[in-house]
Structure 1
Amino acid sequence: MRPPRITPSEVDVQLAEKHTLANGVALYTLASEDFEVLRFSFVFRAGSAVQTVPFSASAAANLLAEGSTEHSAQQIAEQLDYYGSWYDVNIDRDYAYISFATLSKFFDHTLAVAEEILLRPAFPEAELRTYAAKRRQRLAIDRTKVDVEAREAFARALFGPRHPYGISSSEELYDSLTRRDVVEFYRRFYTAERCFVVCSGRIGDHELQALGNLAGRLPRRGVVEDPRFPAPETVHEAFVDHPGAVQSSLRLGRLLFPRQHPDFVGMQVVATALGGYFGSRLMQNLRERNGYTYGVVAAMVNFERAGYFAVATQVGTDVTRQALGEIYREIELLRTDPMPEEELALVKNMMTGEMMRILDGPFGIADVTIENILCGTDNYIIGENIRRIRSMTPDDVLKLARKYLAREDLVTVVAGPAGLGSRF
């Protein structure tokens, strides 16, 4: 007999304990004795939106471990490998995330390597030139793909080509990136004023003190003013010519608001119903009924200073117009016909289940904690968001779709072969 399905209506998520260090860095801890592992993440407000030299933000983040004042890149990598430690770098428009994970018994060794990477990177000229050449080649190859062309064109259409969230710099600018550019970016933005740390796992007094000592040594440089963001310059239709393409890449959506907005969670429900899971409306239409695509997704995307709704898919060039028509039609149905209670219940369960999956384990909780800190809140919001999701009604979905998804407000971008530009 199949066990009964249990859908939680309340979720009690561990709250991070906050410690403020002498240099002002906030250190958040999520202690757990269940596993003999530990992860600590340094989050710097050092994303590409604050760079003045193209690619300097990503270069600074990715070259941190490519040599220190004491060891070469190879020696650093060998030390991490020897202790089975995991090191990861991620950078987006707003933030750089530098993370280390280790078995508890090797914490001290891993922290010593982290200290070199974070406090004493050398940014060797030879490593920079190798990195820049590889990244230039990779970006040039990526930009031969219609999905990358559409993604970049969609950002330009939403924000404008001069906006930090919409800029697409030429890959040739990697050639003019200098070590001085990278060092200056690191000096200005990898500071105590622009950092917080989240540590999860088996954390005792020794680990807390040692990590606090490291984070407490991040230098204070004073407040660095971020570049002023121009007002978005939205274009509602854009076409990217890709001769010889056998598929078109489609992006539809519109500027909305960041995660702090009271309608963000509700619009996540709308986006999930439209294209957020395998049985969503767009998947049923474009894949199952019409065979236009292997997959389609709809989602709310969050930046620090903006957010947007987006639909993305790739279809055969011969059915581009038909696929766009079906996407518009499904969006319009959300705006005109109340969603059946059974469908909405499934969407709620899917969203709740995905949240439970993410929160399974100390590292997942740490990831959500970081996201909540960036949004100016704490883990209490998780339970509140679940309550919001569970309380959504078909009328709520209808009102949100009518308010935010009018056809005239949507931005449409197509990347594909010539001749399609006048067909949507």
Structure 2
Amino acid sequence: MPNRQVAPDSFMLKDLSLTKPKVKELSNGLSVHILQDDTNPVLKIDVLFPSGKVNDEKSGQSLICAKVMVEGTRSYPGSELQELLDHYGAHLDVSVDYDHSTVSLLCLKEHIHSLLPVLKSAITEPLFDEKDFEKIKLQQLQKIQVNNQKNALIATKNLRKNLLNGTPYANTLEEEYIKQISIEDVKSYFHQFFTVAPDFIVAGDFDDGIFDFFEEHFGMLEYSVLNEDYKSELSPIIDDNLIKREGSVQASVRMGCISIPRTHPDYFDLSITNEIFGGYFGSRLMKNIREDKGYTYGIYSVLINYKHLDYQIIGADVKIDHVEDTVREVYREMEELKVNPVPEAEIETIKNYMLGKIASSLDTVFHQSENYKSKLVEGADYLDYFDDYINSIRSITAQRVLEISNKYFSESYCVVKVA
């Protein structure tokens, strides 16, 4: 029997076992990216469109359009669509971010012949029923009303507005914007952006017979090419703002600065340094502000990457009497990383943690497909990206962390406090 008093041996992750994607083209030139795994009879199909919130003429237009698309189609109106999905135990969903929109189908392989026509119908002939439109619009309004009572979301929205000022990435959903959207706005967005050529990312038990079925349903569709017309001028408003709210028992703090893209030579090392700073439960910020000071249950620092913009955000919900103390301690931890080398034991801990984190984020073919999708969006090679990332983690040194901290942890942070 194992001795429970002795910790098991630890070792550094050597290699990742990633599914090598295959790319096939339909007769109309659309790409089907396949991550094959025949161990489970399940398929996940993502239809990735190269448009999102940055393409909105009215804030919220893309989101409502996408939500209404999967409510009903001309071939499968309303309840008929939902009943069909329930019958086969399938899931049809849609997600919209700033740069891309994804329509997803998850189902058993044996039902793909019955459900692929449903997916095709959703992306080519949405019904845009007036009742569905009003329902989705009401749901979004109610969600905004609830969120606008939360200090954390108020702080995040105001940080975006200031830090990302001058770009579409600063836009946030507000009641007045949603109320202005008409069903004609939604139809207009669909005809302009969901008719642009998408990519198909398929994960699971995929075979040549299913590819032929893809060809039958999608190979003859006509799509246009997206007209890249991103025009904006980033003008960050670097300020320290306090928003007072009556009755608050807890405050929210958000700090942010403009950062670098994943394609930058320093990105991996900055990501590792940020993890030490505030990226995991054992980070500098957590040990100081949570464990030592008791100001918060949790604090984080995250690097966020978009197609045209990148930034770092630090966030915490803190005791209302310690808002200024929290901001001061965040700056103090930045300064510590800029002045004193990280101890070797801490370097080894972060290496093991991050390698394990990467491995767990890629442990199923469906997790791998999500990562593959993000790399496809960024124009990065999926396999090379993770090879390079792992090599950077293994080779990071205290001296390199010191260099990166001095280069990227400036005091030019936009600060928003809601209390």
In structure 2, what is the Cα distance between the partners aligned to 1:357 and 1:379? 16
Identical-residue share of aligned pairs (%): 26
Match of 1:233 in 2: 236
Structure 2: how far apart are the matches of 1:47 and 1:355? Answer: 27
Contact 2:128 2:187 in 1 (8 A): yes
User: Is 1:387 aligned to 2:391, yes or no?
Assistant: yes
- Partners in 2 of 1:102 and 1:127 — Cα distance? 24
CA distance in 2, matches of 1:239, 1:43: 39
Tell me the equivalent position of 1:118. 123
Contact 2:144/2:174, CA 8 A, preserved across alignment: no
Distance change in 2, residues 1:304/1:225 (3 Å): closer
1:251 aligned onto 2:254: yes
Residue among 83, 86, 109 paired with 2:88:
83
Pick aligned residue for 2:10 from 5, 8, 13: 5
Displacement, 1:5?
2.0
User: 123, 132, 147: which is aligned to 1:127?
Assistant: 132
Residues 1:401 and 2:398 are matched in the alignment: no
Shift of the alpha carbon at 1:10? 2.9
How far has the Cα of 1:222 moved from its partner? 4.4
The alpha carbon displacement at 1:72 in A equals: 2.3
Aligned to 1:63, the other structure's residue is in SS state: helix
Partner of 2:319: 316
2:143 matched to 1:142? Answer: no
CA 1:338–1:207 in 2, change beyond 3 Å: closer, same or farther?
same
What is the TM-score when the length of structure 1 is the normalising length?
Answer: 0.93
Report the AA paired with residue 35 of structure 2. Answer: L
Amino acid of the structure 2 residue aligned with 1:188: Q
Letter in 2 for 1:39: K
Partners in 1 of 2:392 and 2:227 — Cα distance? 37
Cα deviation 1:103-136 (Å, max 9, x = unaligned)? 1111112212212211111111111111112211
Query: How does 1:350-369 map onto structure 2 within 5 Å?
Result: 350-369=353-372
Per-residue CA deviation, residues 11-53 of structure 1 (Å, 9 max, x unaligned), is 2422211123333322100111111111110111121011112
- Aligned-pair CA distance for 1:169: 4.6
Unaligned regions of 5+ residues in structure 2, if any?
A: none
Task: Select between 107-116 and 308-317 the one with higher mean Cα deviation.
Answer: 107-116
In the TM superposition, what whole-angstrom CA distance separates every residue of 1:139-197 from its partner, at most 9, and x where no partner exists? Answer: 0220121111111111112111x42001235312222211111111111111343x111
User: Does the CA contact (< 8 Å) of 1:147 and 1:314 recur in 2?
Assistant: yes
CA distance in 2, matches of 1:139, 1:217: 40
Superposition deviation, residue 268 in structure 1 = 1.0
1:223-268: per-residue Cα shift (whole Å, max 9, x none)? 4343412233332323323222111111112101221111111111
| Residue aligning to 2:282 | 279
2:352 matched to 1:349? yes
Task: Indicate whether 1:19 and 2:24 are aligned.
Answer: yes
Deviating more after overlay: 355-364 vs 209-218: 209-218
Asked if 1:72 is matched to 2:74, the reply is no
Contact 2:98–2:306 (Cα < 8 Å) also in 1? yes
1:377 matched to which residue of 2?
Answer: 380
Give the structure 1 partner of residue 53 of structure 2.
48
Choose from 104, 108, 111 the match for 1:103: 108
Question: What is the DSSP-based 3-state SS (H/G/I as helix, E as strand, rest coil) of the residue aligned with 1:254?
Answer: strand
How far apart, in 2, do the equivalents of 1:216 and 1:261 lie?
37
TM-score, length basis structure 2: 0.94
1:236 and 1:201 map into 2 onto residues whose CA distance is 48
Give the whole-Å Cα distance in 1 for the aligned partners of 2:29 and 2:59.
29
* 1:96 to 1:222, Cα distance in 2 relative to 1, 3 A: closer
When structure 1 is superposed on structure 2, of 50-59 and 22-31 the one drifting more is: 22-31
- Unaligned runs of at least 5 residues, structure 1: 417-424
Q: Distance in 2 between matches of 1:209 and 1:60?
A: 30
1:97 CA drift (Å):
1.4
